[in-house]
Structure 1
């Protein structure tokens, strides 16, 4: 397939390398829009080197699959300028943290087949030329619109490149569950500037418990069947499994970059307001991150 990766950060670069290794024609698209070439070294079980064209308009015109791996808050500004070059048959695959980024774009993109994915693979981009596959996981893929339902074959494309990939017709449920876990971990680790594992400490973990309680009430109203104990257990498992890691929001605050808070806790709060639910702890965390952004950006 002809595949373009929009936003070759850590996750985008990881997929670019594996998709090229699997034999696909892969191009990268970056924010500067200047055509060039880029070499990427992938550090994994089998190290490999890859050469990519960057910002090649013809590659975009011929694109079968556009994989969107920019930050949630960048989705609209990154994608809209590219739409005139895309065929209406081009499949759009969104793979970013958080929810709500596609909602404002629906009228512009609904004629495309649209897929959403969430992945637990870990990636670290050390510099412009080296990406490390830091942890093996799995990817869930599913349709956003009716045209997307006809694109289950993309599961095989991705699974052949970087397993394991499952097709989930109810991808929205998987996205909500990931959002719930992110709500419990990301803002706290950003505010306390700590690694994920430090959330196990009793003085901080009490906030994890309270966040999960508020989140669970909203999940119930959204029709997500997930018990409170299952939610808290999943959050604790992620904290333990990623104990040595810094969350993406932690790093964004550390490097004084814009965070994805509007599409994580912010999205949760929008849904809470819709259902008439109060979520004061999540609101407080949201306010603290937004205040930090205002003071530093």
Structure 2
């Protein structure tokens, strides 16, 4: 297939490299104004990817969008006129709500949502490390996208384990819940994910999970308090040595995805008249940190 990866950050670079190895024609679309980008995965040899090619974009069978949630609209809007209506647009990012804004602009295209627990980290522009093996779920956003279940096999062949789900909303809410629990805390405390297993953080984690669970139930997402706590605990343990994406954003003073993670949760909570003071405090803390960079 002809595949363009829009936003070759850590996760985008991982998928670009793996899809290339699987035999697909992969190019990238980066903000870097260079004709080619070189990517090296772990200790494997570097591969060269054509960058910012409008010609390859017009021929794309799949456009994999891996920019940050807050970058989605600005990144894709200038490219829409070059995207063929048969091109499947796959959105893979943390958080929820970003696709709702651009979906009307892509109403002719099959739209697919993806969530992954694979860990990736870029220590340099050309180097990407696969820091944790996980699972990827794909599901349709619109009716055309819902007919693209064959994509799961394509993605699975490149980077297992990938599956198609008819209820991508459940998967996205579960990922959102995990991100609400891990990302803001690790960003504020500037600690690894595994540090959240310490007794010091248990009360706050329990409060976060309680509030998230209430909102998920109001949103008709089938979940129990016990299931959610177990999932969060497992992810903290499985990614103990990793730094969350929000930790990295705060460390490098980059805009975070807080509006599409905890912010999305808070909007849903308000809609259902649910009080979420712990998540609100975390949200406010991250926004204060972000504002301090611009003021200084």
TM range (shorter): over 0.9
Deviation track 1:173-224 (CA, whole Å, cap 9, x = no partner) reads: 0000000011011111111111112212222211000100000000000111
Q: Say yes or no: does 1:107 pair with 2:107.
A: no
Matched residue of 1:126: which SS? coil
Paired position in structure 1 for 2:27: 27
Cα distance in structure 2, aligned partners of 1:38 and 1:232 = 41
Unaligned runs of 5+ in 1: none
Aligned-residue offset at 1:49: 2.8
Q: Say yes or no: does 1:12 pair with 2:12.
A: yes
Aligned-residue offset at 1:136: 1.5
| Map 1:1-297 → 2, pairs under 5 A | 1-32=1-32, 34=33, 36-43=35-42, 47-297=44-294
Question: Is the Cα–Cα contact under 8 Å of residues 183 and 211 in structure 1 kept in the other structure?
Answer: yes
Matched residue of 1:99: which SS? coil
Cα distance in structure 1, aligned partners of 2:55 and 2:103 = 25
Unaligned runs of 5+ in 2: none
Question: Is the Cα–Cα contact under 8 Å of residues 35 and 50 in structure 2 kept in the other structure?
Answer: yes
Cα distance in structure 2, aligned partners of 1:203 and 1:83 = 48
Cα distance in structure 1, aligned partners of 2:254 and 2:82 = 30
TM-score by length of 2: 0.97
Range with greater deviation from structure 2 (35-44 or 167-176): 35-44
Cα distance in structure 1, aligned partners of 2:173 and 2:74 = 24
Deviation track 1:85-144 (CA, whole Å, cap 9, x = no partner) reads: 111111100000000001111211121100011111111112121111122111111100
Question: Is the Cα–Cα contact under 8 Å of residues 92 and 114 in structure 1 kept in the other structure?
Answer: yes
Q: How many residues align?
A: 294
Moved over 2 A (4+): none
Cα distance in structure 2, aligned partners of 1:191 and 1:43 = 29
